[in-house]
């Protein structure tokens, strides 16, 4: 006696209705388009960092500034206090 559950049907798309299949295709297309846009934006950001570097700015520090500006003030102050505490504890 063969186990039919272990053997997939030749066309798995039959398991999804046509409306659901079309909706799934639209989701995939949107995600792919957004991924392309994201790659383009990442390339643009990389160019801006390269330009800043060509003007003599330290891009590592610039990235840190961007990171800090994303935090809310309270979170940033809390991290700075912990940093000072830890540095004090290790003698820096």
Confidence class of residue 64 from pLDDT cuts 50, 70 and 90? very high
Q: Is the dihedral angle over the CA atoms 40, 46, 51, 54 positive or is it negative? A: negative
Tell me if residue 45 falls in helix, strand or coil: helix
Residue 52 and residue 74 in one domain? no
Total number of domains constituting the chain: 2
Q: Residue 11: inside a domain, yes or no?
A: no
Residues 43-62: tens digit of each pLDDT: 999 999 999 999 999 999 99
CB-based burial label for 28 (10 Å; 0-12, 13-18, 19+): exposed
How much is the pLDDT for 60? 98
Domain of 62 in residue numbering reads as 58-92
Mean pLDDT of 15-27: 92
Residue 50 and residue 79 in one domain? no
How much is the pLDDT for 15? 77
**pLDDT above 70 as % of the chain:** 85
How much is the pLDDT for 16? 82
User: Residue 24: is its pLDDT beyond 80?
Assistant: yes
Q: Residue 68: inside a domain, yes or no?
A: yes
Cβ-proximal residues to 69 (8 Å cutoff; 6+ apart), any chain? none
């Amino acid at each position: 006696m063969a186990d039919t559950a272990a053997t997939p049907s030749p066309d798995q798309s039959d398991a999804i209705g046509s409306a659901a299949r079309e909706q799934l295709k639209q989701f995939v297309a949107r995600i792919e388009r957004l991924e392309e846009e994201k790659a383009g934006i990442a390339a643009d950001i990389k160019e801006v960092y390269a330009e800043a570097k060509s003007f003599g700015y330290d891009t590592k520090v610039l990235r840190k500034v961007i990171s800090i500006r994303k935090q809310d003030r309270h979170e940033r102050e809390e991290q700075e206090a912990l940093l000072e505490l830890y540095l004090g504890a290790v003698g820096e």
